[in-house]
Amino acid sequence: MFKNEEMEINLGPQHPSTHGVLRVKLRLDGETVTHCRPMIGYLHRGVEKICENQSFFQGQVWTDRMDYCSAVANNLGWAEANEKLFGITVPRRAQYIRTLLNEFNRIASHLIWLGTHAMDIGALTVFLYAFREREDVLDINEAFCGSRLTTTAFRIGGLREDLPPGFEKMVRKFLAKFSDCLEEYENLLTENRIWKKRTIGVARLSAEDAIALGVTGPMLRAAGVAYDIRKAFPYAAYAEMDFEIPTRPEADTYARYQVRMAEMRQSARIIQQCMDGMPEGPVMAKLPKILRSEVNEVYHATESPKGEIGYYLVGEKGSLNPYRFHVRAPGFINLQSLPKMAEGGLIADVVAAIGSLDIVLGEIDR
Amino acid sequence: MNKFLRTLLPADIAKGLSVTGKHFSQVFFTANRRKVPFHIVSEYPEVPAKVQPRFRGRLTMLKDEQGVIKCICCLACEKICPTQVITIEKGKQEGRKMPYPVRYDFEMERCIFCEFCVESCGFDAIILNHQFELAAYNREDFSLGTVGLDQNMFEPSHVGKFSVADD
């Protein structure tokens, strides 16, 4: 009468807690997950192929649309990979402004993660609080480059324009209140009994597994590995900044929460340093009118809020567009750790695991 | 059992409710939202939203002081556009040395508002204006140009005229 039968169900593709169109195939034994496979490809737009058919200058608008929560970080990677390909040196003021905006973007991305991850687990209030501060960051984006989400913030060789008037005031106003806001979120979550029960010990991913799967970003740092490309291979103006890499040894969902909260504090610190030590000078390097590549290949990795985002570009002699373009998307590679985290756990913890991955499907499917 | 009882502590419930009460009283005693600066939300359709000076809205063509189109058909914007939404037809106009755009078509449904066209323009003939309420009922409304009935490359378009803020 009581047969021990396994049931196969789909989580998604249109599930509110999958952050896009992700389908997770689950095999359940009662409430325990025995088998878990993420199915991707519902948001595939062929960004890599489009970029191969467009000029180096035009390619940037597509990087906005991969990971739309951290468009500035994607722009930075694209611009720096191209500068490496063409051997362009960017002025120091442009480097500082890039660093500043990139850190703002990290804060915005982590705030989205905090809000949606807490909402998945059941704490709705944090979502509204986090989006309140994210609005200010988007206003800063809008003041600088005219757009809030799909920024197209940088250009190959520097920036399109210098900082707008009144920008410093906006930034200082944000920094003055942001540490209080972070405390407000932590008051809601850090000692919250329900939050702790839902996250401590849930979806563990050990450091060995994380390294074997190629997981990067806050996921890896929450497993106790202090690897951050901003420190390991400094780019933009990060070599001149003083900041720490927050790590936690526990490797569970709660540790990832703590790492990301600490990262936002460090980001605010970097913004403060950028603002204080902003050098004067031009923001755009001297460029030829048309960028024509040589036979060359380049891989450039930067630390996006989700992890290591790498751009691989192959140039062709005299060509206006890249011969081959490939993105090492952090979300795509981090998602491969989902079976490792979810198998053997409860089905309710799959949602916590997906939330703690901080994935954006636009980037995974590209 | 002990653990379960602890989840019902009235102190925790009171703590949570005090935050709610604080925010509720702030809103309740300052009922007219338009006059209160510390509110984070605004009553958007009634109160028009402010945008930053660099905001990237809809593509607009400019005329000089004599009311002549500034565009001289260098086709830079057509070439740079990542989604190929601009089509220009070159032509001549009497009493004008420079080429004159007979047609300047702009397919807004595919525009991604990247401002590359404005950046590439060496004659300041086009800008992105601050119009962002760009919804419309028909697909044809998104095809803008300089000739015919859809002659609305020069002023805010009829697209978005259904906004409550305009009433």
Is residue A208 included in any domain, yes or no?
yes
Who contacts A343 (Cβ-Cβ below 8 Å, separation ≥6)? A33, A34, A35, A36
Q: What is the mean pLDDT of residues A48-74?
A: 88
Of B165 and A88, the structure prediction assigns the larger pLDDT to A88
Structure confidence at residue B167 (pLDDT): 44
pLDDT higher than 70, residue B162: no
Residues B80 and B16 in one domain: no
Q: What is the mean pLDDT of residues A190-209?
A: 86
Nearest CA in chain A to B53: A143
- Cβ–Cβ gap A143/B80 under 8 Å: no
Assess A161–B contact: CB distance below 8 Å, yes or no.
yes
Is residue A344 included in any domain, yes or no?
no
Is residue B154 included in any domain, yes or no?
yes
- Give percent of chain A with pLDDT exceeding 90: 14
Who contacts B148 (Cβ-Cβ below 8 Å, separation ≥6)? none
Residue type, B118: V
Domain of residue A233: give its range.
Answer: 46-302+319-328
pLDDT in tens, B10-44: 787 888 888 889 878 877 776 555 555 556 777 77
pLDDT higher than 80, residue B146: no
Closest of A34, A13, A38 to residue A24, by C-alpha: A38
Who contacts A335 (Cβ-Cβ below 8 Å, separation ≥6)? A22, A38, A40, A357, A359, A364
Residues B31 and B68 in one domain: no
Residues B116 and B73 in one domain: yes
Is residue A239 included in any domain, yes or no?
yes
Is residue A261 included in any domain, yes or no?
yes
pLDDT higher than 80, residue A164: yes
Residues B85 and B153 in one domain: yes
Structure confidence at residue A110 (pLDDT): 92
What is the largest distance, in Å, between two alpha-carbon atoms of chain A? Answer: 80
Of B165 and A132, the structure prediction assigns the larger pLDDT to A132
Residues B89 and B28 in one domain: no
Residues B63 and B102 in one domain: yes
**A259 — pLDDT class (breaks 50, 70, 90):** very high
Q: Which two tokens stand for residue B72?
A: 């001289």
**B156 — pLDDT class (breaks 50, 70, 90):** low
Q: What is the mean pLDDT of residues A281-310?
A: 85
Q: Which two tokens stand for residue B139?
A: 């697909």
Domain of residue B116: give its range.
Answer: 59-166
Is residue A194 included in any domain, yes or no?
yes
Buried b (16+ CB within 10 A) or exposed e, B2-38: eeeeeeeeeeeeeeeeeeeeeeeeeeeeeeeeeeeee
pLDDT higher than 60, residue B161: no
Q: What is the mean pLDDT of residues A20-34?
A: 87
Of B43 and B167, the structure prediction assigns the larger pLDDT to B43
Kindly report which listed range (A255-259, A312-316, A344-348, B152-156) carries the lowest average pLDDT score: B152-156
- Alpha carbons B128 and B150: distance in angstroms, whole number: 18
pLDDT higher than 80, residue A313: yes
Assess B2–A contact: CB distance below 8 Å, yes or no.
no
**A299 — pLDDT class (breaks 50, 70, 90):** very high
Is residue B92 included in any domain, yes or no?
yes
DSSP A40: -
- Cβ–Cβ gap B115/A152 under 8 Å: yes
pLDDT higher than 50, residue A274: yes
Structure confidence at residue B37 (pLDDT): 57
- Cβ–Cβ gap A160/B114 under 8 Å: no
**A99 — pLDDT class (breaks 50, 70, 90):** very high
Backbone φ and ψ for A233, nearest 5 degrees, come out as -130, 80
Pairs of residues, one from chain A and one from chain B, whose beta carbons lie less than 8 Å apart: 46
Distance from CA of A145 to the nearest CA of B (A): 7
Measure CB to CB from residue B115 to each of A58, A135, A146 and give the nearest one: A146
pLDDT higher than 60, residue A331: yes
Query: How many domains are contained in chain B?
Result: 2
Contact A285, A91 (CB under 8 A): yes
Residues B66 and B139 in one domain: yes
- Give me the CATH number covering residue A118: 1.10.645.10
Residues B71 and B153 in one domain: yes
Is residue A231 included in any domain, yes or no?
yes
- Alpha carbons A148 and A144: distance in angstroms, whole number: 9
Backbone φ and ψ for B126, nearest 5 degrees, come out as -135, 150
In DSSP terms, which residues pair with A154 in a beta bridge? A159
- Alpha carbons A97 and A120: distance in angstroms, whole number: 35
Structure confidence at residue B165 (pLDDT): 46
Distance from CA of B93 to the nearest CA of A (A): 31
- Give me the CATH number covering residue B94: 3.30.70.3270
Interface with B, mutate which of A142, A198, A289 (most B CBs under 10 A): A142
A327, with CB counted inside 10 A (0-12, 13-18, 19+), is buried
Contact B167, B46 (CB under 8 A): no
pLDDT higher than 50, residue B163: no
Structure confidence at residue B150 (pLDDT): 58
pLDDT higher than 60, residue B67: yes
Is residue A176 included in any domain, yes or no?
yes
Nearest CA in chain B to A54: B82
**A212 — pLDDT class (breaks 50, 70, 90):** very high
Assess B18–A contact: CB distance below 8 Å, yes or no.
no
Q: What is the mean pLDDT of chain B?
A: 77
Is residue B126 included in any domain, yes or no?
yes
Assess B23–A contact: CB distance below 8 Å, yes or no.
no
Note the helical H segments in A65-166. 71-86, 92-121, 125-145
pLDDT in tens, B90-128: 888 777 778 888 888 888 888 888 888 888 888 888 888
Assess B21–A contact: CB distance below 8 Å, yes or no.
no
Residue type, A71: A
Could you report the predicted ipTM of this complex, rounded to two decimals?
0.76
Q: What is the mean pLDDT of residues A60-79?
A: 89
pLDDT higher than 60, residue A1: no
Chain A residue numbers with beta carbons less than 8 Å from the beta carbon of B128 are 146
Query: How many domains are contained in chain A?
Result: 1
Q: Which two tokens stand for residue A146?
A: 């005219």
Residues B91 and B158 in one domain: yes
Residues B11 and B71 in one domain: no
Structure confidence at residue B138 (pLDDT): 75
